[in-house]
Amino acid sequence: MSENTNILVVGIGGQGVMTATEILAEAAIALGHDAKKTEVAGMAQRGGVVSSHLRFGQRVLSPQITPGTADVLLGFESAEAMRWQHMLKPGAITLMNTARLVPPVVELGLFDYPEDPLAEIRKTGNKVVAFDATTIAQNLGDIRLGNTVMLGAISDHLPFGADVLLDCVLKRFQRKGEKLVELNRRAFEAGRAAVGQAEAALA
Amino acid sequence: MAAVMPVPAASRVLMSGNEAVARAVWEAGVKVAAAYPGTPSTEMLEVISTYPDLYAEWSVNEKVSLEVAIGCAYAGSRAFCCMKHVGMNVASDALMTLTLTGVVGGLVIAIADDVGLSSSQNEQDSRYWGRFAHVPVFEPADSQEAYAMTLTAYELSEKYQVPVILRMTTRINHVKSLVTVGERSTHTGAGFKKEPARFVMVPGNAGKRIPLMFQRDIDLRAVAEASALNFIEDGSDKRVGFITSGPAYMHVKESFPNAPVLKLGFSCPAPFEKCRELAAMVDQVVVVEEVEPLIETELKAQGLKVIGKEILPLQGELSPNVLRPAIARLLGEPVPVMESGVPMKVFPRPPTMCVACPHLGVYYTLSQVRNLNISGDIGCYTLGAGHPWNALDTCVSMGASMGVALGMDKGRGEADKDKRVVAVIGDSTFLHMGMQGLLDMVYNKGNVTVLLLDNRAVGMTGGQDNPGNGRDIYGEDSPRVDFAKLVSALGVKDERIHTVNPYELPVLFKTIRDEVKVPDVSVIITDQPCVLIKDYHKLKPFEVIDEKCTGCGNCIDVGCPAIHVTRRGKEVKPSGREVDLAFVRIESSVCTGCTLCVQPCAPGAIVHYAPVSPIKLVQKGCSA
């Protein structure tokens, strides 16, 4: 079933990782694909490691992505983007929020947070594009837009057009009024542009 | 009442296994559905409660939930009950006799095995219950099958008057995949018919039911042989054929697309003839099942030459990554090399308690009291075993904190003679199975201080309602348990019962320190709600005045995830001792003003947050 597309979305509990993956799944389904979405999540509602797997294609069997076969990684947090690099196909791209969410075990001095996750990922030879989704969301006026910024960020790295994903995002906000739909449209486009610019700078 | 899921019949929707079962339960015309929350089963009942025309309840424990379902099935209506794997340990007393009476209305019991222990104290294979209780077991491999098998299970249940176990795993319950749904059918209950020889299980009656149960086994095996849920898919590569069930089927198909496969959806009683049929088609047979070698052992007892756990792990989830190398080795082929590299080294990120969680105050205090042995229980507060508190010493099963504490007290040796025994238990766990332990402790004159952490929710599973908060599954008012009166009624002396606010650290500290010294059973009830439920009210957030922070680190010991270190340093005390310093800041956007960090801050460096520029900051549920 190698024709399946494997997308890995990672972050920590409470960040909206699972919702983002679900919206990606909805987009794949809207195009007629079979899809399965699954999480490897710890027991806490908040604060633990979350990695959400989405596979889609003509027919999906195993829901889990086999290590070394993910086509793209969307990282909501820097160290988490690092943690799951081994899941990627060699040379596959990581789209990474530069946010650093430091857990209590690091604050207590028991472990160190990596100095520069972006550089660490680059060292592996994998492609990585970093952007500050949190600041982008804040500049748009609401930190909660970060989730939509992240989806905009991945929208040009899917085997389908960004419009399909944007539609699925906006559908979620339709009942909440035109203002919120417009804000999310801007957040999506801002995330998309941030990745586009970062890639252009690397090229 | 919550809104009905707006999913019309025949539409194809993305559903988790839990949502798919809930839909099928509604479509099957079930009248009563009962459960106690437990990962990964919880969402089944949560979703069922959003459907109309049925009764759903959070029961106080799994045994009661099964008994409620049994009553409904005896009355001739269809019933549903679900639980996590360890829940059936609690409910099994009822199950083992239910198998003798059988049912009138259909009864399906969904058991969710946490294969891989994402959120459990052990890993169990619930398919054993099918063998132990002589009841059929269905094993879905994805959401569509979970949906369809639930509907089939009701038909089988009524035809053979037997409860049916739907065995799920985390990888079925929580995976979302496409399901085509149907319409609700009406099911008219037969009404309860008095039949003492069948429903009153005294020895004389029960003994006569046992041969019927064994005959049913024979009948059901014949049904399994012919069932469409058990099917062979031929393949061109006959070197290895697979007999598999549940999510393992998907991994087999993914890994070996050309191999013949016998997929067992109706796996107990196992269809031995079908297994022989597959064995005759291939050179060798490998049984792939999560997690115990159940089908494998039965087939070996039948004289079939099969391979199973000799080459596959006895623990955890299977995946293509596990299967491919195992089969390559079996065939003497080169073992496929993973294309991925080694995982990069990153700090662990264990689950944490929430910002401002009322348990933080309790564990901070417990970590400051010396000479305690602390028996713990199942819930968010189990996290008290971790950093920075290290203030929970045991965790066994629901309610075990009570009995374990009493045993530690009575069994103490010379080395523990000065130790005080403390038990920590949450409100819902206490009502689930802790009350009996406390009664035992009082009755047998124990010397234990019980901390009853009443946060008015089943916190770990998502803040479900329970008798402790006075709301039912529909969010409607229901009688609320008065914990102080309850423990008083169990015999705890009124002067040994204290209700304290866990955010008032000096009071909490004094109460715990005083009570552990009293050689009697004391109960200290904390009374502040879980921060994730609607009863919780946020207060004004705090920030740290950097110039005032001395780096003492007292606030870090509270363990609140909103506190972050900005820089570290060292200081030489007048005594010549060198101490580490950690200067901090508070993430004011998530702080909800509980004051737990303010209280141990000697220099008064923590003050109410006064933003310089008004940026719209949102606290809960924020994304990055």
Cα B411 from Cα B212, distance rounded (Å): 46
The answer to whether residue B500 scores a pLDDT higher than 90 is yes
Domain-ending residue, one of B526, B551, B578: B526
Residue type, B226: A
Q: Mean pLDDT across the stretch B365-373?
A: 96
pLDDT at position B624 is 37
Does one domain contain both B519 and B563? no
Contact of A79 with chain B, judged by CB distance below 8 Å, is answered with yes
pLDDT at position B347 is 95
Cα B329 from Cα B315, distance rounded (Å): 19
Does one domain contain both B204 and B252? no
Cα B555 from Cα B601, distance rounded (Å): 6
Cα B475 from Cα B477, distance rounded (Å): 7
Q: What is the largest CA-CA distance in chain A?
A: 49
Q: DSSP assignment, residue B419?
A: P
In a domain, B382, yes or no: yes
In a domain, B600, yes or no: yes
Q: Reduce the DSSP state of residue B286 to 3 states and report it.
A: strand
Instruction: Using alpha carbons, select from B71, B168, B77, B93 the residue that is nearest to residue B126.
Output: B168
CB contact under 8 A, A43 and B460: yes
In a domain, B216, yes or no: no
In a domain, B343, yes or no: no
Does one domain contain both B173 and B54? yes
Closest chain B CA to residue A80: B346
Domain-ending residue, one of B498, B526, B554: B526
Does one domain contain both B202 and B297? no
Taking the CA atoms of chain A, what radius of gyration do you get in angstroms?
16
Cα B360 from Cα B444, distance rounded (Å): 32
In a domain, B292, yes or no: yes
**Residue B596 sits in a domain of what CATH number?**
3.30.70
Does one domain contain both B519 and B546? no
CB contact under 8 A, A62 and B254: yes
Closest chain A CA to residue B557: A108
**Residue B246 sits in a domain of what CATH number?**
3.40.50.920
pLDDT tens per residue across span A94-135? 999 999 999 999 999 999 999 999 999 999 889 999 999 999
d(CA B133, nearest CA chain A) in Å: 31
Facing residue for B339 by CB, picked from A43, A89, A109: A89
**Residue B20 sits in a domain of what CATH number?**
3.40.50.970
What are residue A9's DSSP bridge partners?
A52, A74
Does one domain contain both B57 and B83? yes
Does one domain contain both B69 and B16? yes
For residue B572, the enclosing domain spans: 542-619
**Can you spell out the DSSP letters for B472-515?**
-TTS-B-PPP-HHHHHHHTT--GGGEEEE-TT-HHHHHHHHHHH
Does one domain contain both B201 and B291? no
Does one domain contain both B269 and B133? no
Q: Which residue, among A1, A50, A64, A138, would best test binding to B if mutated, counting the most B CBs under 10 Å from its CB? A: A64
All residues of chain A having their beta carbon less than 8 Å from the beta carbon of residue B589 are 143
Does one domain contain both B448 and B554? no
Number of domains present in the structure of chain B = 4
**Can you spell out the DSSP letters for B332-360?**
TPPPPPPSS-PPP--------PPTT-HHH
Q: Which residue, among B252, B344, B592, would best test binding to A if mutated, counting the most A CBs under 10 Å from its CB? A: B344
In a domain, B78, yes or no: yes
pLDDT at position B8 is 75
What are residue B374's DSSP bridge partners?
B422
pLDDT tens per residue across span A26-49? 999 999 999 999 987 665 466 889
Residue B122, phi then psi, degrees to nearest 5: -160, 180
Domain-ending residue, one of B526, B551, B572: B526
Tell the burial category of A47 from Cβ atoms under 10 Å away from its Cβ (0-12, 13-18, 19+): buried
The answer to whether residue B380 scores a pLDDT higher than 50 is yes
Contact of A131 with chain B, judged by CB distance below 8 Å, is answered with no
pLDDT tens per residue across span B260-294? 999 999 999 999 999 999 999 999 999 999 999 99
Does one domain contain both B390 and B488? yes
Residue A150, phi then psi, degrees to nearest 5: -60, -40
What tokens appear for A135 in the block?
């600041």
Does one domain contain both B371 and B242? no
In a domain, B219, yes or no: no
Q: What is the pTM of this model?
A: 0.95
ipTM of this predicted structure: 0.95
Contact of B7 with chain A, judged by CB distance below 8 Å, is answered with no
In a domain, B468, yes or no: yes
pLDDT tens per residue across span B8-53? 777 889 999 999 999 999 999 999 999 999 999 999 999 999 999 9
